[in-house]
Homo-oligomer: A and B are copies of this chain.
Amino acid sequence: MRIALDAMGGDFAPGPIVAGAVEAVLDREDLITVLVGDRERIEAELEKAPQAPRDRLPIVHAAEAIGMDEKPVEALRKKRDNSISRSWAMMAAGEVQAIVSAGNTGAMVASALFAGAHAKMFLPGVRRPGIAAIFPSHQGPIVIIDVGANMAPKPEDLYQYGLMGSIYAEEILGVTAPRIGILNVGSEEEKGNDLTRGTRKLFEESPWASRFVGNVEGRDIYEGHVRVVICDGFVGNVLLKAGEGAVDFLFATLREELARLLPEFPVEVGQKIAGSLMNLKRRFEYEEFGGAPLLGIRGACIICHGSSKSRAIKNALRVANLMAADRINAKIVEQLGATLDDAVDAPKS
């Protein structure tokens, strides 16, 4: 398996990105990670890891890098030779089977859309790819899709997100027959807006009706009774980032509160509590899943958090490898094909 890794993407790139690639290829002998970016800087990082199997860490030079805060479309147009576009071009050419990046999410998606338009990067029948984020719940990990690829989806898009998210939950997260719900402001049928009502109708008339549970309220997400929650990219993105903000705020407040108490406790008590908090915070960071898959494209693509450290990158490469090797895309095509005529007005490819 060959995976393109955007070595320049992320708040701390290329250091932890290259380190994660080294860890990943050491872990899996059949994995080749193509490091895409500034050759000189990547070489410098690789020199810090003498144990690295260089034959499975080829470098593809890209002269430019898109910053985390740059405007995606503008940056892609101005910086033609950037590491993200280069990675997508390699996937379009069949030179890699997957892409991983902790860089500018907007640029990753826009580049996929460009590649999709020009080189048929979308899976047959897919209207528009969606980003699936993994959230924790009382029942284990759940999928929320879309969290930022599609700001103004149609019911048909959300229907496809439900199918794709469900297949991802089954194949990659190991959930049996995951239930699908629409994120909404209430559980009653007529709640929400035209998008939620239209999507509901599509599901109820589809072969997936038995997996579809209707509306899910924000507070029920973490219960985990519904393992695939679909929503438009605007709501999903706000939810994802607000969730991160809430967890950070809560842990900061908790640390303050405990810091006031800890001096009164024996040292080993303090250490145990601190360790316990760290464990807990990790459960919310999802480094184990490495990032959010962009579903609906040929090949596999994982978008990592900008602050990803080597562990997250390593895990993203592991999941990308799994996705590219798995039947997940074949299943998506099969299911979309089987239900397209019934429920979805898909563009002809």
Binding site for B on A (CB under 8 A): 69, 71, 106, 136-138, 148, 151-152, 183-188, 190, 192-193, 217-223, 231, 233-235, 237-250, 252-254, 257-258, 260-261, 264-265, 269, 272-273, 276, 279-280, 283-284
Contacts and interface: CB of A to CB of B under 8 A. Distances in A.
Contacts of A187: 69
A261 B276 contact: yes
Contacts of A280: 250, 253-254, 257
A66 B246 CA distance: 33
A242 B218 contact: yes
A237 B193 contact: no
B242 A136 contact: no
B261 A185 contact: no
Contact of A245 (B151, B220, B238, B265): B220
Name the residue in A233, A234, A242 with the highest tally of chain B Cβ atoms < 10 Å from its Cβ.
A242
A235 B234 contact: yes
30 contacts: A136-B249, A137-B249, A138-B252, A151-B185, A151-B192, A183-B238, A184-B238, A218-B237, A218-B238, A218-B244, A219-B241, A219-B248, A220-B245, A222-B246, A222-B249, A223-B245, A235-B235, A239-B242, A246-B246, A246-B247, A250-B284, A257-B276, A257-B279, A258-B273, A260-B276, A261-B273, A261-B276, A264-B272, A265-B269, A273-B273
B261 A148 contact: no
A253 B281 CA distance: 10
A155 to B, nearest CB: 15
Nearest to A137: B249
- Secondary structure at chain A's binding surface: helix, strand, loop or mixed? helix
A188 B219 contact: no
B71 A188 contact: yes
A272 B136 CA distance: 28
A267 to B, nearest CB: 12
A148 B247 contact: no
Nearest to A193: B151
Contact of A272 (B223, B238, B243, B261): B261
B235 A218 contact: no
A17 to B, nearest CB: 22
Contacts of A222: 245-246, 248-249
A264 B272 CA distance: 10
9 closest A-B pairs by beta carbon, nearest first, are A218-B241, A218-B242, A219-B245, A222-B249, A219-B241, A185-B237, A222-B245, A218-B238, A219-B244
A240 to B, nearest CB: 7
Contacts of A186: 106
A252 B250 CA distance: 13
A253 B185 contact: no
B221 A245 contact: yes
A214 B136 CA distance: 31
B243 A218 contact: yes
